[in-house]
């Protein structure tokens, strides 16, 4: 609990700097009380103060005040995270980064753009499209997800198998550290460097525990001229994994690559049911569905598409109903939905989306899927399904969403969800993988993540204290969990 005197001092010091962009009104603070992580519908974490800086310098003033008074600081962007990474559960100042939403420089010759971290990926790509370019880091939440959130959360991208995640595009970033100092990390516009240490990479997936990212320089790409998206039914998850390896070694340059189990397809075909009024016709023998896309010049796309189809010709696995592929791709990328008739929020009216997000080697995907089914039944969780993303350029690197529907009106069901996450995380370690690939530690895996890191976790603590000596930046995250012991 932070004393009322400290909070009043903080507000009085910030008011001359931010004016109406700092508030203690409950109606303003309520908007920052939750993200998309499963929790009881009555639970919330309301910050004490909300501040909306528009520049790095204003953000510095906020953090300097917090540092002086030893008040926690949290950075908030789109609020679509699913791990409690922005929950202000120790009270303090919520910094809404969306006020920092300007393009600072566009260098077309060097295919580089510098932006404030509060700009959404959607709006950045609207600007870049006018110049025939794009930022290929494309999370499904891109209409809300900001550049800073992509860095802090290290979220997945639809096109990771070709372009990777945000770190593959980031060449430098400016960060306001816990001391209030603003430091540039990185190599300006060069994509790689062998000098010093790659400290910039520490901020990827840091969840705001080291500082507030306020600006970033990103390498952008030319927009592909054409794209083809295809779907293939597979007899087993293991068979789909093997097919992915076959495609990767065939010489075809895949742009996206996703494996879905049978249950997950029905979630992603919501728009199909809206348009056709019927369930998709999925063969009884199909336990998995593989979706791929290729992009580039039209002749190359035609060649690669033919090559891919030839790979599957013998088993007749191609999805024939184009509406299924179109609906899936709308969910993943185009976001072309019927107004008020999309899987979000339609699917959330009775139960909430929750997921464990481990990563395991490609050969162990069937084993951890079996564990998913077992633990969902054990903890009475309604299965939504599995999607395997691949997020490393030109190699298979399963980033897996094991999704279920959580009854947020039932506290026991919510608690059981986190027991499910705990055991899924333990299983991932046993299968030589990682606990989290895109959600992060948040307020769920903190401390428990030592199981993955072992003795090296002490160096994580030392890094935290170096950048944030008073432990005011998103305290608790990475090192404590409210859910898993």
- pTM for the model: 0.95
Residue 346 confidence (pLDDT): 64
Q: For residues 186 and 104, is the Cβ–Cβ distance under 8 A?
A: no
Residue 274 confidence (pLDDT): 76
Query: What is the pLDDT confidence band of residue 279, given thresholds at 50, 70 and 90?
Result: confident
For residues 89 and 115, membership in a common domain is answered with: no
For residues 208 and 240, membership in a common domain is answered with: no
Domain containing residue 58: CATH number: 3.30.43.10
Residue 196 lies inside a defined structural domain of this protein: yes
Least Cα distance to 417 among 347, 351, 348 occurs for 351
For residues 112 and 69, membership in a common domain is answered with: no
Question: At which of 48, 67, 99 does a domain end?
Answer: 99
Residue 443 lies inside a defined structural domain of this protein: no
Residue 341 confidence (pLDDT): 64
Residue 14 lies inside a defined structural domain of this protein: yes
Round to whole Å and give the CA distance between 236 and 28. Answer: 49
Question: At which of 197, 222, 247 does a domain end?
Answer: 222
**Boundaries of domain holding 91:** 4-99
pLDDT tens digits, 322-346: 888 988 898 889 887 666 566 665 6
* Helical ranges in 170-297 per DSSP H: 237-249, 262-268, 270-276
Residue 401 lies inside a defined structural domain of this protein: no
Q: For residues 369 and 401, is the Cβ–Cβ distance under 8 A?
A: no
Residue 200 lies inside a defined structural domain of this protein: yes
The total number of structural domains in the chain stands at 3
Residue 432 lies inside a defined structural domain of this protein: no
Beta bridge partners of 318: 232
For residues 67 and 124, membership in a common domain is answered with: no
**Token pair listed for 111:** 């295919």
Encode burial over 429-465: b for 16+ CB neighbours within 10 A, e otherwise. Answer: eebebbbbbbbbbbbbbbebbeebeeeeeeeeeeebe
Residue 270 lies inside a defined structural domain of this protein: yes
Q: What is the DSSP string of 35-76?
A: -SS---TT-----SEEE--SSHHHHHHHHHHHHHHT--EEEE
pLDDT tens digits, 184-232: 999 889 999 999 999 999 999 999 999 999 999 999 999 999 999 999 9
pLDDT tens digits, 167-192: 999 999 999 999 999 999 998 899 99
Question: At which of 222, 249, 269 does a domain end?
Answer: 222
Residue 358 lies inside a defined structural domain of this protein: no
**Residues 77, 78, 84, 85, CA torsion sign:** negative
For residues 60 and 128, membership in a common domain is answered with: no
Determine which of 254-258, 319-323, 349-353, 376-380 has the lowest per-residue pLDDT on average: 349-353
Q: Residue 15, SS3? A: helix
Residue 27 confidence (pLDDT): 95
Q: What share of the chain is helix, strand, coil (3-state, %, to 5)?
A: 40, 20, 40
Phi, psi dihedrals of residue 448, rounded to the nearest 5°: -60, -25
């Amino acid at each position: 609990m932070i004393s009322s005197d400290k909070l009043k001092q903080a507000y009085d010091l910030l008011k001359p700097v931010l004016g109406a962009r700092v508030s203690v009104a409950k109606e303003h603070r309520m908007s920052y009380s939750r993200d998309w992580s499963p929790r009881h519908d009555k639970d919330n974490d309301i910050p004490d103060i909300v501040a909306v800086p528009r520049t790095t310098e204003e953000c510095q003033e906020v953090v300097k005040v917090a540092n002086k008074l030893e008040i926690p600081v949290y950075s908030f962007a789109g609020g679509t995270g699913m791990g409690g990474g922005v929950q202000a559960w120790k009270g303090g100042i919520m910094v809404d980064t969306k006020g920092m939403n300007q393009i600072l420089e566009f260098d077309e010759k060097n295919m580089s753009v510098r932006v404030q971290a509060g700009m959404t990926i959607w709006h950045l790509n609207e600007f870049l499209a006018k110049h025939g370019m794009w930022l290929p880091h494309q999370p499904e939440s891109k209409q809300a997800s900001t550049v800073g959130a992509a860095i802090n959360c290290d979220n997945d991208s639809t096109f990771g198998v070709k372009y990777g995640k945000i770190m593959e595009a980031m060449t430098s970033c400016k960060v306001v550290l816990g001391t209030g100092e603003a430091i540039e990390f990185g190599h300006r516009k060069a994509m790689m460097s062998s000098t010093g240490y790659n400290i910039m990479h520490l901020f990827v997936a840091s969840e705001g525990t080291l500082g507030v990212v306020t600006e970033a320089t990103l390498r952008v790409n030319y927009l592909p001229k054409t794209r083809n998206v295809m779907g293939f039914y597979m007899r087993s998850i293991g068979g789909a994994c093997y097919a992915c390896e076959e495609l990767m070694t065939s010489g075809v340059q895949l742009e996206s690559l996703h494996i879905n189990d049978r249950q997950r397809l029905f979630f992603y075909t919501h728009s199909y049911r809206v348009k056709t009024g019927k369930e998709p016709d999925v063969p009884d023998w199909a336990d998995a569905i593989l979706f791929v896309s290729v992009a580039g010049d039209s002749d190359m796309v035609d060649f690669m598409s033919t090559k891919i189809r030839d790979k599957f010709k013998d088993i007749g696995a191609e999805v024939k109903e184009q509406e299924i592929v179109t609906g899936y791709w709308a969910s993943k990328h185009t976001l072309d939905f019927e107004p008020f008739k999309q899987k979000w929020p339609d699917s959330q009216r009775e139960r909430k989306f929750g997921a464990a997000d481990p990563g395991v080697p490609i050969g162990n995907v069937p084993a951890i899927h079996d564990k998913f089914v077992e633990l969902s039944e054990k903890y009475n969780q309604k299965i939504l399904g599995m999607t395997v993303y691949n997020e490393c350029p030109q190699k298979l690197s399963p980033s897996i969403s094991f999704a279920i529907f959580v009854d947020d009106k039932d506290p026991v069901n919510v608690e059981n969800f986190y027991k499910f996450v705990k055991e899924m995380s333990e299983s991932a370690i046993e299968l030589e993988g990682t606990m989290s690939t895109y959600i992060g530690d948040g307020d769920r895996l903190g401390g428990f993540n030592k199981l993955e890191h072992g003795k090296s976790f002490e160096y994580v603590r030392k890094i935290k204290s170096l950048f944030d000596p008073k432990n005011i930046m998103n305290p608790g995250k990475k090192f404590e969990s409210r859910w898993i012991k």
